[in-house]
């Protein structure tokens, strides 16, 4: 049995037209000057921003805006946001968009009132005790991460690669999150990315579950199966609100569930960030490469759980006489699913090669650190093998 302390800092507003409530909610929480943060990369955000501006004005709130131009949020934009907050006396931050905008907004919120050197905020010894209040209007079906207190941004280095900058604090959890399924569109261009982003976090949660927590395991198995069913349906009927609603709840389940382990920083997650640092690729591209490679690496060690996942979530027959066969079929199913979505599944798909492995391992932190993964440690050699399986 694991000891548990669970507290959700965020309120949820879920449903149609809830974004119209944003001004009233911010005013109720004491905001008066709002920094609205959004991504320039979103082609469908214009109408939503008009709604947000109208709601803020109708509530008597002043506001200013900041846009991000990168898939992976940059420290340079954080500095721009901090400057705006201090110059314009911003007292509330509103993130409008997906996970990258949320991360950006939370770091700005902390940096605007951080007393020490800015980069100290990302030190493991640092204790972030205060931040400007943040709220989120999620435009992603994978918006469960909006509730997270853990954030990642990137600093561009002289060689063109990215340096991962992470921080975590309870004060970074948003005051409220607005989820409206109608704001989340799924089309041929983002279908695959949405799928892998959602399935990635569910896999991480599934393999972090304590073996004695049967209910948590069953919840995740049914959630993963629901995700596959909903994505199949949405291919036939794009932007079906009922399907999107189920997918959004699947994402929220992965982040707001007292039975799940949120303290485990998994090997998969760390390697994905390292790939982003080296190739400046989309997070979903990094995930689609690392996921099958990791499954192949742990196939023997975790064959019981992999076989169980296959039987429960993917309808792969459970071979009682040889569990390894069921586990291998499950890994093959996952790999083929990613390939069918035209996602990269090898480093070569990102123009990478074996020569990049040392660079990726250095981005992870090796050899200065000995292992990665909080509850399931992996050595440098382990990670090298995983990356080799992705060639």
- Exposed, middle or buried by CB within 10 Å (0-12, 13-18, 19+), for 124? exposed
Residue 272 makes CB contacts below 8 A (sequence gap 6+) with: 200, 283, 286, 287, 290
Q: Six-digit token pair at 234?
A: 């949405």
- Flag whether pLDDT at 6 surpasses 70: no
pLDDT range class, residue 278, cuts 50, 70, 90: very high
What does the pLDDT read at residue 261?
A: 67
Instruction: Name the residue among 81, 86, 89 with its Cα closest to residue 65.
Output: 81
The span from the CA of 95 to the CA of 146, in Å, is 9
Q: What percent of the chain shows pLDDT beyond 90?
A: 75
**DSSP string computed for 261-289:** --S---HHHHHHHHHHHHH---HHHHHHH
**Structural domains in the chain plus CATH codes:** 11-183 (3.40.50.1970), 191-388 (1.20.1090.10)
pLDDT of amino acid 8:
66
CB distance 219 to 259 below 8 Å: yes
Provide, rounded to the nearest whole percent, the portion of the chain with pLDDT above 70.
Answer: 96
Give 212's pLDDT tier (boundaries 50, 70, 90).
low
**Residue 35 binned pLDDT confidence (cut-offs 50, 70, 90):** very high
Q: State the pLDDT confidence band at 20, using cuts at 50, 70 and 90.
A: very high
- Asked if residue 366 has pLDDT above 90, the reply is yes
Q: In this structure, what token pair is assigned to residue 203?
A: 């896999």
Quick one: pLDDT band at residue 116, thresholds 50, 70, 90?
confident
Tell me the per-residue pLDDT of 36-69, one tens digit each, with 9 for 90 and over: 999 988 767 878 999 999 999 999 999 999 999 8
Confidence tier at 22 by pLDDT (50, 70, 90)? very high
- Both tokens assigned to 29: 């929480």
Nearest to 375 by CA among 295, 297, 269, 243: 269
How far, in Å, CA of 119 to CA of 106, rounded?
Answer: 15
On the 0-12 / 13-18 / 19+ scale of CB atoms within 10 A, 174 is buried
CA distance 189 to 296: 28
What local confidence, expressed as pLDDT, does residue 244 receive?
Answer: 94
Instruction: Count how many Cα atoms sit within 13 Å of the Cα of residue 343 in the half-sphere of its side chain.
Output: 30
What pLDDT is recorded for position 160? 86
Sheet holding 62-68, edge to edge: 11-14, 176-179, 134-138, 92-97, 33-39, 62-68
Check residue 263 and give its pLDDT.
Answer: 63
Q: How far is CA 234 from CA 50, 141, 246, in A?
A: 28, 12, 11
Output the pLDDT for position 209: 73
The end-to-end CA distance of the chain, in Å, is 39
Q: How far apart are CA 173 and CA 105, in angstroms?
A: 11
pLDDT band at 107 (very low <50, low <70, confident <90, very high): very high
At 228-266, the pLDDT tens digits run: 999 999 988 888 999 999 999 999 999 888 777 666 678
Give yes or no for a cis peptide into 367 (omega within 30° of 0). Answer: yes
Q: What does the mean pLDDT of the chain come to? A: 92
Two tokens, residue 64: 């200013």
Q: 78, 122 in Cβ contact below 8 A?
A: no
Q: What is the mean pLDDT of residues 61-90?
A: 95
């Amino acid at each position: 049995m694991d000891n548990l302390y669970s507290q959700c800092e965020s309120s949820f507003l879920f449903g149609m037209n809830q974004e119209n409530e944003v001004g009233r909610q911010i005013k109720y929480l004491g905001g008066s000057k709002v920094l609205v943060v959004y991504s320039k990369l979103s082609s469908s955000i214009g109408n939503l921003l008009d709604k947000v501006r109208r709601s803020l004005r109708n509530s008597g709130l002043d506001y200013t805006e900041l846009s991000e131009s990168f898939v992976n949020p940059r420290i340079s934009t954080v500095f721009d946001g901090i400057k705006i907050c201090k110059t314009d006396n911003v007292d509330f931050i509103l993130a409008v968009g997906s996970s990258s905008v949320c991360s950006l907004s939370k770091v700005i919120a902390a940096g605007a009132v951080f007393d020490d050197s800015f980069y100290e905020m990302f030190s493991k010894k640092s204790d972030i005790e205060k931040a400007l209040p943040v709220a989120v209007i999620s435009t992603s079906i994978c918006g469960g991460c909006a509730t997270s207190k853990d954030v990642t941004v990137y600093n561009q280095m002289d060689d063109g690669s990215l340096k991962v900058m992470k921080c975590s604090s309870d004060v970074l959890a948003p005051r409220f999150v607005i989820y409206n399924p109608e704001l989340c569109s799924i089309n041929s261009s983002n279908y695959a990315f949405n799928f892998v982003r959602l399935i990635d976090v569910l896999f991480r949660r599934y393999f972090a579950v304590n073996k004695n927590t049967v209910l948590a395991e069953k919840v995740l198995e049914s959630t993963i199966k629901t995700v596959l069913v909903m994505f199949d349906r949405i291919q036939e009927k794009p932007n079906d609100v009922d399907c999107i609603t189920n997918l959004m709840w699947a994402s929220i389940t992965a982040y707001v569930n007292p039975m799940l382990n949120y303290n485990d920083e998994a090997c998969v997650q760390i390697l994905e960030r390292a790939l982003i640092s080296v190739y400046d690729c989309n997070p979903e591209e990094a995930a689609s490469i690392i996921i099958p490679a990791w499954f192949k690496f742990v196939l023997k060690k975790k064959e019981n759980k992999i076989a169980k996942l296959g039987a429960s979530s993917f309808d792969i027959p459970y071979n009682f006489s040889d569990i390894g066969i069921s586990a291998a079929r499950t890994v093959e199913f996952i790999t083929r699913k990613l390939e069918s979505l035209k996602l990269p599944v090898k480093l070569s798909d990102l123009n990478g090669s074996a020569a990049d492995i040392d660079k990726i391992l250095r981005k992870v932190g090796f050899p200065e650190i000995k292992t990665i993964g909080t509850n399931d440690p992996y050595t440098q050699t382990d990670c090298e093998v995983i990356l080799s399986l992705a060639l």
